[in-house]
Structure formats: structure tokens, C-alpha cells
Amino acid sequence: MGIYLPIAEISVNVFVLLAMGAAVGFLSGMFGVGGGFLITPLLIFYNIPPAIAVATGANQVIASSFSGALSHMKRGTLDFKLGGVLLAGGIVGSTGGIFVFGFLRQLGQLDLFISLSYVVLLGTVGTIMLIESVSVLRATRSGAAPVLKKSGQHNWIHRLPLKMRFRASKLFVSVIPVLGLGASIGFLSSVTGVGGGFIMVPALIYLLKVPTNVVIGTSLFQIIFTSAFTTLVHASTNQTVDVMLAFILMAGGVAGAQYGAKAGQRLRGEQLRALLALLVLAVAIRLAIDLFVTPPNLYSLSGAGLN
């Protein structure tokens, strides 16, 4: 069944989009990530203009993180104060990102920038995750006990000034790295359409030493607001949010997420991470190939001064 997307201005197959949303929802339920980093590249492969894929991806992320954050709020595994500080940084980063986005679009370099960011981002995160999970898998196979970091261990981040206490996370840490983390993820969110959960979660665990049980809820909480802010600014400055497209993806996504969560419970953590790493790397490689292969048309047209 064909459907015309009003903002993207192309006709697409509604079932392909539903399947895409469901598949990403399944994976996001399974791995506990928002899925924005998969949706946007998939939309680009499906010929949706990158600018619209990014803004609509951000809109879609709100739905999945909102429903996730609700469950965590009920379980009490959400640190509102930590989330709030992350969010303050996120708004600043996101605003900066929107300006860069509009500027690159004017220069005609936006598509390239989005692809490059994804290749670098997904390539790095995928490689690190793969190395980490494979070494854990090997260690457990050989019977050795996994090496855990001692909770008392401090790194340079804990020596920074302006400390603040976060009770729910049992944390006493400087606000500088928290704001900085929020800002960089906000920036990424507005330029690439990702929610940033797949960076936020490891950063909170390894850099700030936030207890694992509050990490996902807190990260989801802040992603709702960063993505909502990104969506709002993209909608009002670039007019690139396609509600129709976002809604179809969300509908597929919320259903898929539930089955994914069930499937995820049967797999072990390091197995999940290895699979997710392979998936992330596959997307990065696919995007990288497009950058190097000679395009069918060297010339492209765009409206000047418009948009």
C-alpha cells in the first residue's frame, strides 16, 4: 500500500515502513536502546532525504524512550536530579547542533556530514562493544572470573570542582562532566537524529560510575526531552519533521519493542552486546561504502535560499 509522505514529498510503501519500525523496535526492546541510530540510516537507505530522516528519527525516539521511561519511573530506577542536569547540558548542545545543521544544509554538505558522523560514531562504538563483549565471552568460556572494577576506584573526573550530590544514584560528583556529557549527546541528537542512549549508557556507567540499575531509566528520561527539543527546533526552523512518517515508524516500533524485550531476556548480556555490536558495525560499513562508491550522478540540484 503506497502512502505519500507530506514533508519528504515522496511515495513510500507503508508496510515497508511498519516492518522497519517493528524490526528496530524489536532490536531496541532487546538491547534497551532507543533505536534512533538504526532508524535514521535505514530511512536514508530507503531514499528519504537525510535532513528529514534525521528530524523524523528524533521524533520517533520520543515515543520509545517515553514508554521506557514510564516503566523505570514506576520501578523507581530513575534519578530525576541527574537527568535534569544532563538535560540542561543537552538543551545547550542541541541548540548548537541545530545551527550547525542549518549551516551545513546551506553549504550542501549536510548529507555528507550525516553519513560521516554515523560512520565514525557507529564504527567506534561498534568496535569497542565488540572487543569488550568478545573478551568477556572468552573469559567466561575459559572459566576465569570476569575482572570487575572496584567501586572505590576514582578517575580524573572525580577530581573536578563544583561537586553535586545525586541521592538516587548515590553519587557525589562534579557537574562539569555531567553537563558536558549532556551537551555532546544533545549536539549529536540534533545533527544525527540519534537519541544517544547507546553512548549515554556506557558513559554513565564507566565515566561517572552511576549504578547500572538507574542508568537506563535516567538516560531514557533525558533522551525524551533532548529529542523533544530537537524535534521542536527542527520543525520550526527547518520544517523537516514528517509526522506521517514518524507515526508509522512509532506504531511499528512500540509493538516490536515488546517482543524484543521478551527475546532479550533469553540471551546473556555479553551475547546481546556482541550481537548489537555486529549490527552497529554492519550499518556503519554500509554507510561507508556509499561514501566511497562513485555516485551515479555527480551533479545534484537544490533550491537556493529555500528551506
Partner 1 sequence: MAGPKAFAAAIALSLLAAAAPAKAQSPLPEGIQIGLSTDNVSITAGFSGADLTIFGSLENPDPLVARQNRYDVIVVLEGPPRPVVVRRKDRVLGVWVNLDSEAFENVPMSYSVATTRPLQDITEPNSYKQLSLGASNLYMQPADPGDSPATIEEFTAALRERKTATGLYSENVGGVQFLSQNLFRATVRLAPNVPVGTHKARAFLFKSGLFIKESSAQLEIRKSGFEQSIFRVAHDYSFLYGVFAISLAMLTGWLGRLIFRKD
Rounded to the nearest whole angstrom, what is the least distance from the CB of residue 301 to partner 1 in the complex?
A: 5
Q: Which residues, including other chains, have CB under 8 Å from residue 258's CB and lie 6 or more apart?
A: 29
Binds partner 1 (CB under 8 A): choice among 71, 77, 117, 127: 71
Binds partner 1 (CB under 8 A): choice among 133, 169, 226, 231: 231
Q: Which residues, including other chains, have CB under 8 Å from residue 245's CB and lie 6 or more apart?
A: 5, 7, 8, 12, 17, 43, 48, 52, 56
In degrees and rounded to multiples of 5, residue 11 shows phi and psi of -95, 135
Q: In terms of CB distance, is 250 or 275 closer to partner 1? A: 250
Per the DSSP assignment, residues forming a β-bridge with 166 are: 171
Binds partner 1 (CB under 8 A): choice among 30, 51, 63, 85: 63
- 80 near partner 1, judged by CB under 8 A: no
Rounded to the nearest whole angstrom, what is the least distance from the CB of residue 223 to partner 1 in the complex?
A: 12
Q: In terms of CB distance, is 131 or 291 closer to partner 1? A: 291
Distance CA 169, CA 269 (A): 22
Distance CA 208, CA 119 (A): 26
Distance CA 63, CA 254 (A): 8
The site that binds partner 1 (CB under 8 A) totals a number of residues, namely 68
Site string for partner 1, 93-112 (x = CB under 8 A): ---------------xx--x
Rounded to the nearest whole angstrom, what is the least distance from the CB of residue 49 to partner 1 in the complex?
A: 11
- 213 near partner 1, judged by CB under 8 A: no
Binds partner 1 (CB under 8 A): choice among 40, 60, 169, 190: 60
Q: List alpha helices for 108-196, DSSP H.
A: 110-141, 175-192
Per the DSSP assignment, residues forming a β-bridge with 254 are: none
The angle subtended at Cα 188 by Cα 186 and Cα 190, nearest 5°, is 70
Binds partner 1 (CB under 8 A): choice among 7, 53, 210, 277: 7
Binds partner 1 (CB under 8 A): choice among 125, 173, 191, 241: 241
Q: How far is CA 47 from CA 10, 42, 113, in A?
A: 9, 9, 17
Residue for cell digits 563483549?
A: 133
- 266 near partner 1, judged by CB under 8 A: no
| Residues near partner 1 (CB under 8 A) | 2, 4-7, 9-13, 45-47, 59-60, 62-67, 70-71, 74-75, 108-109, 112, 116, 224, 228, 231-237, 239, 241, 243-244, 246-247, 250-251, 253-255, 257-258, 261-262, 291-295, 297-306
